[in-house]
Amino acid sequence: MTDVWIVVVAVGAATVLLKAAGPVFLGRRPLPPRLQPVVELLAPVMLAALVTTQTFGAGEEIVVDARVPGVAAAAAVIVVWPRVPIVGAMAIAALVTALLRLAG
């Protein structure tokens, strides 16, 4: 087994242990009231970080290309039509990006 696979297995095991830690340690107890708002904000913040890095990142450089107007179009659709399914907003982002890449 190479060093890379050892690291992959170790990181996978650590991930499983960390994900299991919450239910194991908290059991059926509710979260403390101070932590509830933090936990509720974790998913949107992580999604925003992922979208930002995937939109502007290219290796170790910041790049502004056709992805930026695509994400902006998806954001505009979500603002104008708040009940739009996320898949619909993603499809609009992909369409705008594809059309801009085709045009230029």
pLDDT confidence of residue 20? 87
Cβ–Cβ < 8 Å for 83, 67: no
Instruction: Give per-residue pLDDT as tens, 19-60.
Output: 888 878 878 888 888 988 998 999 999 999 999 999 999 888
Residue type at 12? G
Domain ranges of the chain: 1-30
* Listed residue (11, 26, 73) closest to 81, CA to CA: 73
Report the chain's terminal Cα–Cα distance, integer Å.
46
Average pLDDT, the chain: 91
Instruction: Give per-residue pLDDT as tens, 62-100.
Output: 999 999 999 999 999 999 999 999 999 999 999 999 999
Binned at pLDDT 50, 70 and 90, residue 12 comes out as: very high
* Bridge partners of residue 57, in order along the sequence: 62
